[in-house]
Structure 1
Amino acid sequence: MTDATGAVRQLLQRLSDAWNAGDAAGYADLFTEDADYITFFGLRMRGRTAIEEGHRELFRMPITLEPLAGTADVKPLAEGAVLVIAGGSSTVDGQVDPNRDSVISLTAVDTPEGWRFASFQNTRASGPRG
């Protein structure tokens, strides 16, 4: 599972990079066509197109993500599927706001396109991250 862990950590890095670049299409491409995506505020997006559309406006705001890969736990579920739990942190206008800290869970699957996220859940953190 070491190869999967490395590939998923690279996918997480690409997720942070696409967010910080404001690349909604590149961000959405990291998800499966039928992915389920639940935001920090409880909005559910279904599918890659909805994820792209939902982030296009968001990416115009001055929000940057801290890299997720370094904080992630990757747990094998089955051949070609892993659970990822990571601490999330962001800045707004360059200012860190601990009230925005979250715990993110994702399901990553090995697809013909390579590893992609099939689900994403972002939940406000209560207590120390990790």
Structure 2
Amino acid sequence: MNSILAAAALLLVPAYLSPAAETSAPLTSTEQIQQIIAHQLDSWNRNDAAAWASDYSTLATFINVRGDVVKGREAIEKIHAFIFQGPYKGTRLSASIDTIEYPAPHVAIADITSEVSGFATLPPGLTPTEPGIFRTRLKYILVEEAGTWRIAAAQNTAVSPTRMDVK
């Protein structure tokens, strides 16, 4: 009997080891959040406000670099449609993820440094961080619901061209 079970097991092993039977592991939370940020960059660089806003939760809050508070995914899409047709039309966005932390289950905080280039002028009250570059520090609060991460809140802060000398 044992030899029959052993033979049956040997027949089944190749099925488990074959490439067709392999499945890719699900993405980690960090990988999913990295994908969201990559999607944000791609959406910006295509000036696609609907795609940009799709990463936000329905009731998300977005505070832009001017301090305007925008509530709800639809309003976030609307303001980005406006800037993509106006001051940021044709600009390029690049970013680096500084940190992703998990302060509680299903909650993440992502700190991002972003750079916008290719602008002719910036909106009133904003100054380039250096010639041709507008740098910001972006903070995302993300929430996972049913296995999907969404941006629940975002704060975008302009980086000043001058540093404060703190001693």
TM-score (norm 1): 0.85
**Are the structure 2 counterparts of residues 78 and 37 from structure 1 closer, same or farther at C-alpha, using a change threshold of 3 Å?**
same
Whole-angstrom distance in 2 between the partners of 1:45 and 1:107: 15
**Which deviations, in whole Å up to 9, do the C-alpha atoms of 1:60-114 show, x marking residues without a partner?**
2232211x3x4331010211110011111110249xx535211111101112472
Asked if 1:109 is matched to 2:143, the reply is: yes
**Which deviations, in whole Å up to 9, do the C-alpha atoms of 1:7-66 show, x marking residues without a partner?**
101110001111111111111110000000000111110000000111112112232211
Secondary structure, counterpart of 1:62 in structure 2: coil
8 Å contact from structure 2 (residues 142, 149) kept in 1? yes
Which residue number corresponds to residue 44 of structure 2?
19
Map residues 28-43 of structure 1 onto 2, 5 A cutoff. Answer: 28-43=53-68
Q: State the 4+ residue runs in structure 1 displaced beyond 4 angstroms.
A: none
Asked if 1:121 is matched to 2:152, the reply is: no
Which residue number corresponds to residue 84 of structure 1?
110
Unaligned runs of 5+ in 2: 1-26, 121-127
Whole-angstrom distance in 1 between the partners of 2:28 and 2:147: 16
Aligned positions, number: 123
Whole-angstrom distance in 1 between the partners of 2:63 and 2:42: 20
The structure with the larger Rg is 2
Matched residue type, 1:121: Q
Two-structure CA RMSD over aligned residues (Å): 2.1
**Are the structure 2 counterparts of residues 84 and 24 from structure 1 closer, same or farther at C-alpha, using a change threshold of 3 Å?**
same
